[in-house]
Structure 1
Amino acid sequence: MRIADLAGKRVAIWGFGREGRAAIAAIRRRLPQLPLTLFCSEAEMGLARAFDAALIVHGGEPDAVALAPFDVVVKSPGISAYKPALLAAREAGARVTSGTALWFAEQASSSVIAVTGTKGKSTTTALIAHLARSLGKRTALAGNIGMPMLELLGQSADLWAIELSSFQTGEAGPVELGVITSLYEEHLDWHGSRERYIDDKLKLAEVSRRLLVNATQPFLLERTAQHPQRLVFGQVDGWHVAGGLIRRGPQAVFEIARLRAPGEHNALNACAALAALEAVGLDAISAAASLAAFRPLPHRLQPLGEHGGLWWINDSISTTPLATLAALESVKGRVVTVMVGGHDRGLDWSVFVDAMRHAAPHAIVAQGANGARIADALREAGVSVHDEATDLTAAVDLARRITPPGGIVLLSPGAPSFDQFHDYAERGRRFAELAGFDGQDIVGIEGLGIA
């Protein structure tokens, strides 16, 4: 469905975040007289009316009755496609679409590398854009990484590096190359089950002419084995990590120590980006030198610096236990206090607990809504844990007291932020402030848009 197809339809927009605003603006540019109804939170109603005085604005989440009058519902990514109201609207004949789907319909001829994955997708997408630009390619960086594609509607680029969350993979149109960086359970509250989350993630494979996947994950290899043009990264005959180097087969290409983004998992993300460029016909070997100039994304193993005799690392983007394990691996051999816990969405922490049984850091501080559940599991496994901190402020105070001079305080929660904060970025900025840094210095992701 293209925006022109909305003409004469009764259209509702559900969600007034950045995606929702981008959808309203894009539709207004093409169909300025089309009546639009917005469903948003009551707190957003005033902002919505100021944004577009012609909107019909309703506060609160719509039910099936509220959506019944509409032919088309344009939903934001955070609105689960499995909400009963949306399922009922579809059953009644309404078309449910999104900003992602509208963009793909409008720009079907664009050269797109679409990246998804439980972890690593943002860094890999940004790396693809950074490396392609180093080769002189006019490249767009957009999507779930922080800029809705509709904000760039009608603009041209040689290459589109687009991040898609699991909320968006089912809305993508045909892409030249799909990339899946990793696949673990996450967002079970949105998808409803682990199986549905995996199925939704893998919908990207269905629209990808060629598919690039992480060879270090046997389950991912198994689930994508039937793709007719599947490529892999992370194995020895292609782009992989070995002996402190990023290699292309036997050829040593780049020293991992020169990466500003720490951890072997980030070196593997770089392999994914280089393999993606190679897959679309670009000179990945020449581009690799530019890895040294890539700045780590904020809130992703972001070193804040030294303060009060301690080193502080902000990994607020960590929303799964496996992401926390990867963060701890990146600082292996150092004295580390790790802070875990946040919004409880029922994820299984047993893999984390088992790893801590064998290789626990100096200290673990559990806090937030699921902190007690994590602490109980650790204690049952015989792992020492501090759980007297109920929120992030108390956790930072505790970590400061129990970490010896020269040690690292690592915020890698393994859980979303919604129990205490609006999003992971707000949590990361607050952590920086509690550590003694200026949280406002943590700016957004560089390079968004077209350059």
Structure 2
Amino acid sequence: MHWADLAGRRLAVWGFGREGRAALNALARHLPAQAVNLYCAADEVDAARAAFPGLAVHGVAPDAEALASYDVVIKSPGISAYKPELLDAQARGTRFTSGTALWFAGHPMAKTIAVTGTKGKSTTSALIAHLARSIGVRTALVGNIGLPLLEMDDDTADLWVIELSSFQTAEASGVNLGVVTSLYEEHLDWHGSRERYVDDKLKLLASSEEVLVNAMQPALLVRAADHPALHTFGDIAHWHVADGWIRRGDEDVIRADRVSAPGLHNAINACAALAALEIMGLDARAAAPALSSFAPLPHRLQPLGKRDGLDWINDSISTTPLASLAALETVGNVRTALIVGGHDRGLDWAPFVDAMRHHAPEAIVCQGRNGPRIADALEAAGVPNVYRAMDLAAAVGAARDALRGDGVVVLSPGAPSFDQFRDYAERGKRFAELAGFESDAAHILGLGIG
């Protein structure tokens, strides 16, 4: 759907987060005379009216009747495409689109790399942009990583690196290279089931001319096998990590510990980034030394520093149990207090519990809405050193008490933040404050065009 298709239609924008505001601003540029209705939260009404005078603002979620009264609704990504009221209106003729879909429709000639994955998509996206810029390519870093595409609607770049969540993958079109970093259980509340989550995530494959997938995940390889232009990373014939090196086939290119973002998983993300550049016709080997100057993303195994004899690591972006396990692996064999728990989406913690039966840290502090469920499962499995806390502040206190001034405190919740915080960034900033650090040090570098 193009902007011209919206002219003169009964039109609404649903959501007033950053994506919703970007859509309203883009509408004002493309269709200044177009009438638009906005649906937002009740506490956003005043801000919406102040920012967009004359806009018809509704401080409620639209029901099926309201949605069916429009020809087109521009929906924010966080609103599930499977809501009953949305499906009802859709069946009655209402068309739903998004900022992502409108941007792709309006930029058919843009050279694009779209990156998705349960884990690693943000770091891989940022790595691709950083490496491309290091060899002189004017590159945009946009999308789910923190800068909506429509905020860059009038800009140009030689290469667009676009992070897509599972909420957005179905909305991309004409992608030059689609990258899938990993595939695990995630966002079941939005998609409704694991099967639908996987199907939605992999819709990126169908919209991409070429695809790059993680060869270390057999199930992912099977799903991608029929693509006519399939590339892989993580296998010995291509970009992979072995014996402390990032290799291209049997060629040692750069030591894995030169990657500034810590951990084996980030070295694998670097392989994905190098492979993506190569597929796009860029000199990946010339870019590889820039891995050492990459600024790791905030809230992703972010070292905060030392306070009261303890090291503090902020991994607030962790929203799956497997991400919590990866955080422990990265920290290594030191005295560790791991803080887990948050909003409960019903994810399976059994693999985490099983891993803790064999190698538990000094303390596992379970907090937040699903904290009791995690603690119950750990204790039932005989895992030692399990602590319970009502919220993040209490969890930080319990971690301090458990380590007694010797070790590392890791916030890697394995769950979303919505039980206590607006998003993972707010949770990470609060963790930094509770640990005794400034909260404003955590921001993503390199967004936009550079």
Name the TM-score, length of structure 1 as normaliser. 0.99
Partner of 2:143: 143
Partner of 1:52: 52
Residue 99 (structure 1) aligned with residue 99 (structure 2)? yes
Aligned residue pair count = 450
Name the CA distance, whole Å, in 1 between partners of 2:52 and 2:398: 47
Equivalent runs, 1:27-426 vs 2, <5 Å? 27-426=27-426
Cα deviation, residue 258, structure 1: 2.0
Does the Cα contact within 8 Å between 1:35 and 1:54 map onto a contact in 2? no
The letter for the 2-side match of 1:433 is: E
The letter for the 2-side match of 1:432 is: A
Cα deviation, residue 181, structure 1: 0.2
Name the CA distance, whole Å, in 2 between partners of 1:98 and 1:415: 26
Identity %: 65
Name the CA distance, whole Å, in 2 between partners of 1:138 and 1:7: 33
Cα deviation, residue 385, structure 1: 4.0
Does the Cα contact within 8 Å between 2:186 and 2:197 map onto a contact in 1? yes
Partner of 1:445: 444
Write out per-residue CA displacement over residues 411-431 of structure 1, whole angstroms, 9 at most, x where no aligned residue.
Answer: 000000001111000000000
Cα deviation, residue 249, structure 1: 1.1
Cα deviation, residue 389, structure 1: 1.2
Name the CA distance, whole Å, in 2 between partners of 1:228 and 1:60: 46
Name the TM-score, length of structure 2 as normaliser. 0.99
Task: Name the SS of the counterpart of 1:425 in structure 2.
Answer: helix
Cα deviation, residue 243, structure 1: 1.1
Name the CA distance, whole Å, in 2 between partners of 1:312 and 1:260: 18
Cα deviation, residue 212, structure 1: 0.2
The letter for the 2-side match of 1:301 is: L
Name the CA distance, whole Å, in 2 between partners of 1:336 and 1:255: 27
Task: Name the SS of the counterpart of 1:387 in structure 2.
Answer: strand
Task: Name the SS of the counterpart of 2:81 in structure 1.
Answer: coil
Cα deviation, residue 69, structure 1: 1.3
Say if 1:92 and 1:385 are closer, same or farther in 2 by CA, change over 3 A: farther
CA RMSD of aligned residues (A): 0.8
Name the CA distance, whole Å, in 1 between partners of 2:405 and 2:379: 26
Name the CA distance, whole Å, in 2 between partners of 1:10 and 1:77: 21
The letter for the 1-side match of 2:395 is: A
The letter for the 2-side match of 1:240 is: H
Does the Cα contact within 8 Å between 1:371 and 1:387 map onto a contact in 2? no
Cα deviation, residue 363, structure 1: 1.2
Task: Name the SS of the counterpart of 2:33 in structure 1.
Answer: coil
Cα deviation, residue 154, structure 1: 2.4
Name the CA distance, whole Å, in 2 between partners of 1:113 and 1:54: 38
Name the CA distance, whole Å, in 1 between partners of 2:406 and 2:180: 37
Name the CA distance, whole Å, in 2 between partners of 1:410 and 1:402: 13
The letter for the 2-side match of 1:449 is: G
Cα deviation, residue 406, structure 1: 3.5
Task: Name the SS of the counterpart of 1:35 in structure 2.
Answer: coil
The letter for the 1-side match of 2:6 is: L
Name the CA distance, whole Å, in 1 between partners of 2:2 and 2:68: 22
Moved over 6 A (4+): none
Cα deviation, residue 386, structure 1: 2.9
Does the Cα contact within 8 Å between 1:379 and 1:385 map onto a contact in 2? no
Name the CA distance, whole Å, in 2 between partners of 1:20 and 1:385: 45
Does the Cα contact within 8 Å between 2:262 and 2:330 map onto a contact in 1? yes
Write out per-residue CA displacement over residues 159-183 of structure 1, whole angstroms, 9 at most, x where no aligned residue.
Answer: 0000000000000011000000000
The letter for the 1-side match of 2:43 is: A
Does the Cα contact within 8 Å between 1:72 and 1:94 map onto a contact in 2? yes
Cα deviation, residue 29, structure 1: 0.3
Name the CA distance, whole Å, in 1 between partners of 2:90 and 2:385: 48
The letter for the 1-side match of 2:233 is: F
Does the Cα contact within 8 Å between 1:378 and 1:385 map onto a contact in 2? no
Does the Cα contact within 8 Å between 2:113 and 2:178 map onto a contact in 1? yes
The letter for the 2-side match of 1:395 is: A
Name the CA distance, whole Å, in 2 between partners of 1:15 and 1:268: 36
Does the Cα contact within 8 Å between 2:68 and 2:93 map onto a contact in 1? no
Does the Cα contact within 8 Å between 1:375 and 1:385 map onto a contact in 2? no
Cα deviation, residue 404, structure 1: 4.2
Task: Name the SS of the counterpart of 1:82 in structure 2.
Answer: coil
The letter for the 2-side match of 1:141 is: L
Cα deviation, residue 88, structure 1: 1.2
What 5-or-longer segments of structure 2 have no aligned partner? none
Name the CA distance, whole Å, in 2 between partners of 1:417 and 1:52: 30
